[in-house]
Structure 1
Amino acid sequence: MFASVLREVTGYFDKRALISTFFPVLAFLGGAVVVVWTTVSGVAGALAAWGGLAGTVQVALLVGFLALVAFLTFLLGTLREWQDRLCQGYWPSWAAGLAERCARSHRAARRALVERDGELQREEEALAVERAWLPRPDDAASGGLTDEEFAAAVTALRAVRQSPEWPRGTAERLAEVVRAVRERPAEIEAVTGLALDLDAHLAAVEQAVRARRAAVQQELFLWYPQPPGDVQPTRMGNVVRAAEQHPTTRYRLDAVVLWTRLQPVLPKEFADAVRDAKVSVDLLLTTAVFLPLFGMPLTWWLAWRLPAIEGPATWLTVLAVVVCGCAVVRLNHRMLPPAVAGGGLVVVHAVTRVWEPVLRIEVCLLWTLALAVLSYGLYRNATHATLAYAERLRTAFDLYRWKLLEELRIKLPETLTEEQHVWGGLSQFLYRGGVADPALLRYEHPRPEGP
């Protein structure tokens, strides 16, 4: 019976609305009803009360409950854009002070990455200079090192071979040793092996620096808009802003203006992939909102409604201690002993049932804090899921922007420079109704079919 009613109600929603909104509402609202009912009447009493109802009453209650879930699903669907903008940092004016403080921290993090990228670039350039100083087979010059200087230089070079770094001036010293070895035939084989080892070592150091710089640049590319573009107050907002900035910096097109026009011309398979990526973000955000929205009032009610903190309540308290302890470890390892001690005190209270009013307050606070930590963790996961969604947005412009020009009957450009001028003029025309150079937008209509 329940399956039939559920099938009728869910038939009005597509798969993405079911996953991202309907089932979370059903799970959280239904779970809250079950917890309250079984707490008030007991499990046996709740089952007996439900079984004592007539079949028509049961169907009416189920239909009414599912209708309420469907209404909340429609309501949340209309609020989805508002939720996205809130998570992306578009906050109301009364929160401008908080937004500026959050944005300041993201600016500092981006500045640190940019500075780190500059440092690694200078390291790459220094290593390139070092490679240019390496001795070449056609170098016919001879050196003038004394035996003591030669031995000291070889010892220093062997130490570099064992080091993960490449000190500046090592290649020049190696060149001096190679030139000096011409006067010492007995050392040629050893110095040749040393030169080959150092060449390989320099290549490994160069690769390591390039890998570190690539990781920094990838983080800048994915997580932050490029300067001089400003940052958003939230990590999710910065991810989306970076994706919106991508077609602007590459092709000079306005992604915000042209995205709604590009969507209809995307191939169905790709459009479905974009929507599926957005569903993952929506599901995580919905769960992150529902956890405190349903959980906090319910936990406070349970903490004061239960006759005693025992059984499942004790295990929930232990779970809350574990969750909060993991969060503390992520923040600061030195805060772990006090946190564990405080959580252990709550568990001891729950087991021994002493200081009942204080115990219930501690349990309420601990459960609330654990729900907040879990909600924030889901938001962070939603931010990581936004990376996949944002990457699909970039790909949509990279691969299918030509389809938009074809649908607008704009002649396809021949070069990248011409393309940038065309997109810049088209974005200006669609957004402001004018263009600086009308000759940029040349129409190209398809030829009529037929003889």
Structure 2
Amino acid sequence: MSLTPLSVSAGSVATRRFFLVGYLPTYAGIWFLLALVWAGAPGEGLDPSRAWRTMTRLGAGEIMLTALAVILTAVVTAPLQLSLVRLLEGSWPRWLGVGLGVRWQRVRKRRMAEAALLPQDEEPTPAAVQRAGAADARLRRCFPAADHLLRPTALGNVLTAMEDTAGRMYGMDAVVAWPRLYPVLGAAARAVVDDRRDNLDTSARLTVMGFVVAVASAVLLMRSGWWALLALLPLLVSLVAYAGAVRAALAYAEAVHMAFDLHRFDLLRALRLPGPSDMEAETKANEALCDLWRQGIATSLAYEHRDQDGEATGTTARQHG
């Protein structure tokens, strides 16, 4: 089989992700700050026409240097993407108000749980049942079941709920199973997962970039009178992007659940393990595997080897741990 199509496909996916997640938010932020500087910031008055004249008179070399600066900034900050998402999840020092954020999220969870209850004093109507069912579905998607897992932000709770529930009905711990399941996903499932993860990461990067640019703009415009209100524009972008990140996280969580539903047996085949006979056997086997991956707990595994035609040639018991 030729590897060329796979290489081209992987390269195009990586290029698209870099453009959306790294380059585009960085490009927008740097050019906004440059426009303020070209307009006269920091200073007492801004002249937007001056900024426009400066941009239209840029030479090829200046444009190339600016593009290079944007690309370098995007490349250097790319390894920080996971840290940015963790920051938006609520991985802050306690003195920044983690406890206060968790208490607010507990209030939100309680209100959503109350909306999921059916009225006790009268016969529920079909509409009431439907509303309660929808509220219960939102509750399970937006919050982890256990209160001790609550995070101080909405984004953190959506992603924690995903980690807590994805694959759980099959006995899998998503945190340890996902790095092993993802490589065996089919092309269609991986495309859905990657697309939704890219949307999440793009929104997260825009959120952080918008906030950083808003702070930098406020500093540049401190002596510019009413022009200081321009700092609200990147702040508004940050707020809208965060709302988009929460919705993107919900879509990403749905894709991860789908991946466990459809491809968990592909993981067993990749591990050379036989398929379970029923749901109970599957749950016990998956729990043993996750214990092995998470804690190194010894377990007895019966491998199933296959010949070139894909037919099982027998099983061999092995002890791991």
Q: Is 2:81–2:205's contact at 8 Å kept on the other side of the alignment?
A: no
Give CA deviations for 1:139-188 in whole Å, capped at 9, x if unaligned: xxxxxxxxxxxxxxxxxxxxxxxxxxxxxxxxxxxxxxxxxxxxxxxxxx
Alignment of 1:363-402 (within 5 A): 364=228, 366-368=229-231, 371-402=234-265
Match of 1:84 in 2: 85
Residue 142 of structure 2 is aligned to residue 261 of structure 1: no
Q: Is 2:22–2:205's contact at 8 Å kept on the other side of the alignment?
A: yes
Q: Report deviation, 1:78.
A: 0.7
**SS at structure 1 position matched to 2:305:** coil
Cα distance, 1:450–1:296 mapped onto 2, change above 3 Å: closer
Match of 1:120 in 2: 118
Match of 2:160 in 1: 241
TM-score of the superposition, structure 2-length normalised? Answer: 0.80
Q: Is 1:262–1:404's contact at 8 Å kept on the other side of the alignment?
A: yes
Alignment of 1:2-151 (within 5 A): 14-39=15-40, 43=49, 47=53, 51=57, 58-92=59-93, 94-95=95-96, 98-117=97-116, 119-120=117-118, 122=120, 127=123
Q: Report deviation, 1:238.
A: 0.8
Q: Report deviation, 1:216.
A: 1.6
Which has the larger strand fraction?
Answer: 2
Higher gyration radius (CA): 1
Q: Report deviation, 1:433.
A: 1.4
**SS at structure 1 position matched to 2:223:** helix
Cα distance, 1:432–1:444 mapped onto 2, change above 3 Å: same
**SS at structure 2 position matched to 1:444:** strand
Alignment of 1:129-278 (within 5 A): 205-227=124-146, 230-278=149-197
Aligned residue identity for 2:142: W
Give the whole-Å Cα distance in 2 for the aligned partners of 1:363 and 1:34: 13
Q: Report deviation, 1:66.
A: 1.7
Give CA deviations for 1:359-395 in whole Å, capped at 9, x if unaligned: x2x663x554565454223212211121111110111
Give the whole-Å Cα distance in 2 for the aligned partners of 1:28 and 1:416: 51
1:443 to 292, 303, 316: 303
Cα distance, 1:76–1:426 mapped onto 2, change above 3 Å: same
Give CA deviations for 1:95-116 in whole Å, capped at 9, x if unaligned: 4xx1122112222322333344
Q: Report deviation, 1:423.
A: 0.8
Cα distance, 1:444–1:108 mapped onto 2, change above 3 Å: same
Give the whole-Å Cα distance in 1 for the aligned partners of 2:262 and 2:277: 16
TM-score of the superposition, structure 1-length normalised? Answer: 0.59
Cα distance, 1:232–1:122 mapped onto 2, change above 3 Å: same
Task: Flag structure 2 segments of 5+ consecutive residues without an equivalent.
Answer: 1-10, 42-46, 312-321
Which has the larger helix fraction?
Answer: 1
Residue 270 of structure 2 is aligned to residue 407 of structure 1: yes
**SS at structure 1 position matched to 2:217:** helix
Give the whole-Å Cα distance in 1 for the aligned partners of 2:55 and 2:137: 59
Q: Is 1:121–1:213's contact at 8 Å kept on the other side of the alignment?
A: no
Give the whole-Å Cα distance in 2 for the aligned partners of 1:370 and 1:385: 22
Aligned residue identity for 2:109: R
Give the whole-Å Cα distance in 2 for the aligned partners of 1:275 and 1:17: 13
Match of 1:420 in 2: 283
Cα distance, 1:302–1:415 mapped onto 2, change above 3 Å: same
Cα distance, 1:363–1:38 mapped onto 2, change above 3 Å: closer
Aligned residue identity for 2:189: F
**CA RMSD for the aligned pairs?**
3.1
Q: Is 1:91–1:99's contact at 8 Å kept on the other side of the alignment?
A: yes
Q: Report deviation, 1:446.
A: 1.4
Cα distance, 1:13–1:22 mapped onto 2, change above 3 Å: farther
Q: Report deviation, 1:234.
A: 0.9
Give the whole-Å Cα distance in 2 for the aligned partners of 1:15 and 1:375: 22
Q: Report deviation, 1:287.
A: 2.1
Larger mean CA deviation between 271-280 and 421-430 belongs to 271-280
